[in-house]
Structures are given as structure tokens and as C-alpha cells.
Chain A
Amino acid sequence: MVTERAREFDTQDLLINVGPQHPSTHGVFRMVLEVDGELVKDVIPYIGYLHRGAEKLCETMDYRQGIGFMDRTEYLAAFNAELSYVMAVEELAGLEVPERAQWIRMILCELNRLSSHFMFLGAFGVDTGVMGTPFIYGWREREMLIDLFEEISGDRMMYAYFRPGGLAWDVTRNFKERVREVIKSSAQGIKDFDGLFTENEIFVARTKGIGYISAEDAIDYGMSGPSIRASGVPLDVRRDEPYLKYSEVDFQVVTGQHGDVFDRYACRLQEMRESIKIIEQCLDKMADTGPIMPEKMPRMLRTPPGEVYMRTEAPRGEYGIYLVSNGGNRPYRLKVRSACLSNLQALKQMSVGLYVADAILVLGSIDIVLSEVDR
């Protein structure tokens, strides 16, 4: 990247502190960049500014109370986070979830993937230096989705709608029409982003060929989600270990070829189209009426001693819940496997050798949520 002429100058390395309060770090993330001129020579990430000890707090709460904490670990895709948690409890307690509840969960999780990716697209636009337009476009589509979530769960971000066994209450009567309406608008939004970014020469020139990570390295670092699929690894929990009804719907696992920033963006955008396909199939297969909770639910939910590692595919990658029970009504130990934490470990490898402005793009392209990293 450096021209011969630039090498002639003898420059002194400089430490730049980015964050924790910096718009490009998407939250309270801090990284210290060692730069030689404009080139990044080393990246030292610091996390933990948002550590609230959700794992420890869950040990003192019974299973239903813990749902709220899971929302707050992954606030941009709270349905996905809740899902892992309630499925871990169901697996241990041996609860059968009624079919209709499973379809509803699946629709909501995919809608949540859409809203989370719209948020990414908007914020990523700002990272590339396009202030305004993409951000507002992303926000507009996300707002439609969030309105729908509010109609169903009563809350815009912290839903606490999934419960061990099923759902807190039934969806609204016009659920199917509303979902169809919203995904129609989302499909148009995806098309808009195609025009804004994918076909935008400046955007492509900025993002292609930077932040490369090979498939072997990505696996070694334990990356997951669109960030690893962009490197050509078809790793998707929905396909590899189907949960809910994912084995009954038809969808593609989107992979990239180059493992660069552009591919990570393109994978997400293509994945959103797959999500819409999944939602349409779910709407066709879902019954209009039916139970959403098992008939006999204990008043106080207890699980037999044992442990389970429940994994689901959240928008940012594998969101795992490692739940250990000693037979009580609360977890003995709860570990949240954060996708962003593992993805973030590869940041140094992806950013060294790039310009400072490109290192910001690399950070944006792995789409971190700091509350999930720190928990």
C-alpha cells in the first residue's frame, strides 16, 4: 500500500486512542492504534466498559426473570438472544414448544435479523463517510420493523416476549398481514441499499480488497456469522444444526469469496433477501390459530441437574448459551457465548497494514454490539 516515495521519510510511530467515546466504535469500545504516518502497525483493543455481570446476575434470578437480561446483552437482536436462552431452558426442562409458537418465533427472529442488518447498513454508511442518506434509509426501514415488534411485544427493543415453553401471549390478529406489509417495505429497502452501496463506485473502491481474512484464520479465531461466511466458510447454525423449523424451509447459506470488507457487507445484504424468503415460507406454513404455550406449565419452572450448550444463529453469528443446572429454579452457571467477542479477536489481523480510515471500516464491517461483547 505504501509507495516507495513515502518510505523515504523516516517517521515516528504514534499512538492514537480511538474510543471509548468515539462515533466510529459503535459503542464503548476502545482501540489504541499504533500508526506510522497513516498506516496502522498495531491494534490493541480494550473492552469491558459495558460489563454488567449479566451472567452472575442470572444466577440469582429464576429462569423467567433471566429473559430480561438476555435482551440487554444483545439489544439490536433481542429476539435472537432470548431464543437461545429459552431454548436452553426448554432443552433441560424437556418442554415441548407448540408448533405455532415455533413458527412465530422464527418469523420474529428473522425480522429481527432484518432490523439488525438495516442498522448495520446505516451505520456502515457513516463509517465509509456517507453521512446522512444511508443512515436515514436504514433507520426508516428499521423503524417499520420496530413498530411491528412493539405491536406484538409491547416494547421497541427489550421484548421479553419468548418464554420457556412458548410465547408470553398471542400475536395480534392482523399479524400475517402486518408482517407481509413490513417485509414488502424491507425488500424495497434492500433494493435501495443495492443502489446506494453495491453499485456505488466510490463505496466499492473504498471497501474492496481491504480487511482480508482467510478461511483458515477465521475458523481459528472462532469467528461466526456473516463475518466468517464472507471468507467462504459456509458456517450457519440454522443449516448445520437446524432448530425451530429451519429444516422445513428452503434458504441459501450466503458465502463470499474474498473475505474482505465488501464481502462482509455483501453477505449481510444478500442474507437479508434470504431472511425475507424464510419469513414468506413461515407465513404460508403457520396456522392462524392454535396454542402458543404447552397445556401444562409448572408455576415454578425447575430443571433437572445437567447442562446444555444451546446455539442459534443470531445476526452477528453464533449466540450460545451454556446453561448449567443443579436442579433448582435458577441457573447454577450461565455463560453467554458472544459472537462479537470472537469476531473482534481477529480485528488486529484484519487491520494491520491498512490506513487509519480503512481500519475504521474493518471495525464497522464486523458489526459489533458492545453490550454483547461485554455482557
Chain B
Amino acid sequence: MTSEEATQPVPANDFSGTIWAEVDRALSGITARPEAGVKDVIVHIPRDEVIAGLRRLKADAALHFDYLRCLSGIDREADGIEVVYHLYSTDKKHNLTVKTTLPMDDLNVATATTVWRGANWLERETAEMFGVRFTGHPDPRTLLMPEDMTDVHPLLKSHPLAEIEVLQGEGMGYPEEGA
């Protein structure tokens, strides 16, 4: 149990009947705060410890989260960017969501490709869409965006949707308004 959790009021559902007890045991020594999700338990881990935590969740015999379902980001504007890992165990058949929050002025987090190889493209996508840098990533190219558009991060809330055509640049052959 961590100091951060002690200050938080315990939610109405006390995580009994969920896998939180197991997760808490596997993550001993790592700061982790549970939150009740609609389907799965969500665990918040600070970014310095998140990869160590994920590795332990995968290695733990009782949990065995060997399958990375999804890796994505959420732009919480002033609260930074959340990187979300959806884990699944192919033999134990249980789910867990792990989240880590990065402050807007320092969007660095260690890569999860060292835990699951499948994180490779998912991290590349999250990197280009949110400007997150996954340190130690073996192949930090763009995935869906053009190679030279490394300074545009479309899924950020600050990215204007209506002006995308402008961003794509002049000279694309679009006729002028009213021409």
C-alpha cells in the first residue's frame, strides 16, 4: 500500500472479487493505484516504474499477462497524456488495464517492446499521434503518417481538425475557393 493510495478515499467497490489483490501482490514495491473500470480493473503506475510493473505482471505465474491487447494514448490536456496498456492472459483469461500519465512538458516513457514484441507498431502509432517518445524503441519511424510529418500530432486536442487541409500544404492541387 502506498502513500498515494492512503490519501485517496477508498471507492465504494473495494476491489474484492477482482484480480486487484493478485495484482497488488505481484506489484509489491511498485507504486500502484487501482481504479474501478466498467469491465476491467485499471491500475495507475508512475511512468518510471511502469515497464518494471508490466514485466512483473507478465512474469507472474498466477497472473501471466502474456498478451498485449491494445496500447493507446489519451490526451487529458492540462493533466498530460495517458498511455494505456490493455493486458490479457491467454491461459488465465483475465484482463487488466494499466495506465501511466506523462506530463505535457516531458512526454517520455520507456518502451514496452522489451516486454511484448507486439507493442512495436502500437507504440509507433501512439508516438506519432501524441508526440510521446518511447525511449529505447527499436524502430522509431512514423507508422501511419508521412515520414516527414514528425512535428504534427493529429490526436492531440490542441490539433485543429478543421485546418488539416491547410496543414497538408499548398501546392496539393486543390482549386482555390471560388475559383
Contact = CB atoms under 8 A, between A and B. Distances in A.
Contacts of B37: 306-308
Given A220-B116, A222-B69, A222-B118, A309 B144 contact: no
Interface stretch (A29-37, A51-59, A105-113, A280-288): A51-59
Given A91-B39, A219-B66, A337-B70, A47 B143 contact: yes
A220 B39 CA distance: 23
B101 interface: no
B69 A337 contact: yes
B12 interface: no
B115 to A, nearest CB: 9
B75 interface: yes
Contacts of B69: 222, 309, 311, 318, 320, 337
Chain A residues touching B, majority SS: mixed
A60 interface: yes
A342 interface: yes
Contact of A333 (B75, B144, B159): B75
Interface string A316-351: 001010101000000011010100011011000000
B90 A235 contact: yes
Contacts of A240: 93
Interface in B145-171: 145-146, 154-155, 159, 161, 164
B113 to A, nearest CB: 10
Given A219-B90, A309-B70, A322-B86, A342 B118 contact: yes
Contacts of A219: 66-67, 90
A54 B78 CA distance: 24
A92 B144 contact: no
Chain B residues touching A, majority SS: loop
A53 B70 contact: no
B104 interface: no
B121 A345 contact: yes
A261 interface: no
B74 interface: yes
B179 interface: no
A221 B86 contact: no
Interface in B25-43: 37-40, 42
B97 interface: yes
Contact of A309 (B86, B120, B159, B164): B86
Contacts of B155: 55-56, 333
Which A-B residue pairs are the 9 nearest by beta carbons? A222-B118, A48-B144, A335-B72, A51-B144, A337-B70, A308-B38, A221-B118, A333-B74, A220-B117
23 contacts: A47-B143, A53-B154, A92-B38, A219-B67, A220-B117, A221-B116, A221-B118, A222-B67, A222-B68, A222-B116, A223-B118, A308-B38, A309-B86, A318-B69, A320-B86, A322-B84, A322-B86, A333-B72, A335-B70, A335-B72, A342-B121, A342-B122, A375-B144
Given A217-B117, A310-B39, A333-B75, 5 more contacts: A56-B155, A223-B118, A308-B38, A322-B72, A322-B86
Interface of B: 37-40, 42, 66-70, 72, 74-75, 84, 86, 90, 93, 95, 97, 116-118, 120-122, 142-146, 154-155, 159, 161, 164
